[in-house]
């Protein structure tokens, strides 16, 4: 399997051979930022188009089919529309918090996005506490949401923000404990080491039933953290107009819209990395010929293929189940998912201590 670190090391050596270290680092930082921003935008456009088509499929419609072949240019048209829309000035708001909130939300999403290992040797950040870092920066988004609801001076926005705060803080516990279950199995929090540890088998298979339970709970908690149906109470149109971003317009609303879709990708990316081997191909012990064929598939395709499958599952759930009430949503977390998760973590610790895993 090709290691993209060969390319990055070659480029680094090329720059160091003709300029000082300061300019080498500056150019590399700028290039990494531009590449991540471009990838961030392209993935968001692809997800918007994909959800519309999948939603149409479930509802027996065609979906976008006018702008471009099969409507593939519709998200680009929407992007230009939202960029050109007027930003409406709202009276009686806390202007500092109101205008800062979208940037906090998008920055939180972008920081988590930059730490994902997209392929072998394709990772911008690789801390020894990588999963802890992702949990920390992804949790910052709730600060922006609460700021948006409070600063809008709108009761519907405030109710949406409070719902979102209760929902995200609650389900963050289950998501964190599910990932901690895998950390206990892997023995490390560094993402590249977690992926490498799954070379001879993905953790969802190696970790017995506790790994499967942790995977299912993480998908449920992650789905709730992205405010997607049936957990879309913070944005319930029939009750709260648009929730915490009711008063936002133009590019400010676009930031919330963009981060919501990318958070869906990040949740799927973390699940892929922790449970499904990340960019690691599917191997079967003893099947050397089959494993060699799997190794020919580029690591980037493995990662994005797994992420796409999980995103499709997320969209399937959204367009299948009705919206929960807020009391049902919190009961699900505090009375069921969290206790099961805590017991599951203890069981996984026992399995690791006695070496009962594969």
Alpha-carbon distance values, 109 to 96, 102, 229, 251, 256 (Å): 21, 11, 20, 16, 10
Residue 122 sits at φ, ψ, to 5 deg, of -115, 70
pLDDT at 240: 64
* pLDDT average, residue stretch 304-322: 91
* Contact by Cβ (8 Å): 157, 186: no
* Residue 209 predicted with pLDDT over 80: yes
* Residue 286 predicted with pLDDT over 80: no
243 SS3 class: helix
* pLDDT average, residue stretch 87-93: 83
* Residue 299 predicted with pLDDT over 80: yes
* pLDDT average, residue stretch 104-117: 91
pLDDT at 282: 87
pLDDT at 347: 93
* Residue 267 predicted with pLDDT over 90: yes
pLDDT band at 201 (very low <50, low <70, confident <90, very high): confident
* Contact by Cβ (8 Å): 271, 218: yes
pLDDT at 138: 87
122 SS3 class: strand
pLDDT at 302: 93
pLDDT at 236: 67
pLDDT at 258: 87
* Contact by Cβ (8 Å): 283, 199: yes
Residue with more model confidence, 155 or 337: 337
* pLDDT average, residue stretch 256-276: 91
pLDDT at 39: 92
pLDDT at 253: 86
57: tokens are 């499929």
* Contact by Cβ (8 Å): 215, 204: yes
Alpha-carbon distance values, 45 to 31, 38, 208, 223, 261 (Å): 21, 11, 37, 20, 9
Q: What is the mean pLDDT of the chain?
A: 88
Q: Residues 240, 244, 248, CA angle at the centre, nearest 5°?
A: 105
pLDDT at 30: 92
pLDDT at 219: 93
**Residue 122: strand pairing partners:** 119
What pLDDT digit, counting tens, does each position of 62-83 carry? 888 888 888 999 999 988 988 8
* pLDDT average, residue stretch 33-55: 91
Q: What pTM was computed for the model? A: 0.91
Tell me the percentage of the chain whose pLDDT exceeds 90: 38
pLDDT at 325: 84
What pLDDT digit, counting tens, does each position of 211-265 carry? 999 999 999 999 888 887 788 876 766 666 667 888 888 888 888 888 888 999 9
């Amino acid at each position: 399997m090709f290691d993209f670190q060969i390319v990055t090391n070659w480029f680094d050596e090329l720059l160091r051979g003709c300029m000082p270290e300061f300019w080498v680092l500056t150019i590399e930082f700028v290039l990494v930022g531009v590449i991540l921003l471009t990838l961030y935008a392209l993935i968001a456009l692809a997800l918007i188009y994909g959800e519309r088509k999948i939603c149409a499929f479930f509802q027996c419609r065609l979906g976008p089919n006018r702008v471009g072949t099969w409507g593939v240019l519709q998200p680009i048209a929407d992007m230009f529309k939202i960029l050109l829309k007027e930003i409406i000035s709202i009276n009686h708001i806390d202007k500092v918090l109101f205008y800062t909130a979208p940037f906090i939300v998008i920055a939180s999403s972008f920081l988590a996005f930059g730490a994902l290992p997209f392929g072998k040797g394709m990772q911008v950040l690789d801390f020894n506490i990588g999963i802890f870092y992702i949990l920390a920066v992804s949790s910052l988004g709730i600060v922006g949401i609460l700021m948006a609801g409070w600063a809008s001076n709108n009761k519907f926005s405030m109710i949406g923000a409070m719902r979102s705060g209760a929902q995200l803080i609650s389900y963050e516990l289950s998501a964190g404990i599910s990932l901690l279950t895998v950390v206990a199995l892997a023995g490390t929090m560094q993402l590249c080491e977690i992926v490498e540890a799954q070379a001879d088998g993905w953790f969802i298979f190696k970790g017995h039933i506790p790994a499967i339970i942790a995977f299912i709970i993480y998908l449920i908690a992650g789905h709730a953290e992205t405010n997607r149906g049936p957990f879309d109470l913070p944005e319930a149109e029939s009750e709260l107009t648009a929730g915490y971003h009711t008063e936002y317009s133009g590019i400010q609303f676009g930031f919330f819209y963009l981060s919501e879709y990318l958070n869906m990708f990040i949740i799927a990316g973390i699940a892929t990395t922790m449970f499904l081997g990340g960019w690691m191909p599917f191997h079967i012990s003893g099947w050397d010929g089959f494993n060699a064929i799997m190794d020919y598939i580029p690591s980037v395709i493995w990662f994005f293929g797994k992420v796409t499958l999980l995103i499709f599952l997320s969209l399937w759930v959204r367009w299948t189940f009705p919206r929960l009430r807020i009391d049902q949503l919190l009961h699900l977390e505090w009375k069921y998912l969290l206790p099961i998760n805590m017991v599951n973590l203890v069981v996984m610790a026992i399995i690791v201590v006695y070496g009962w895993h594969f």
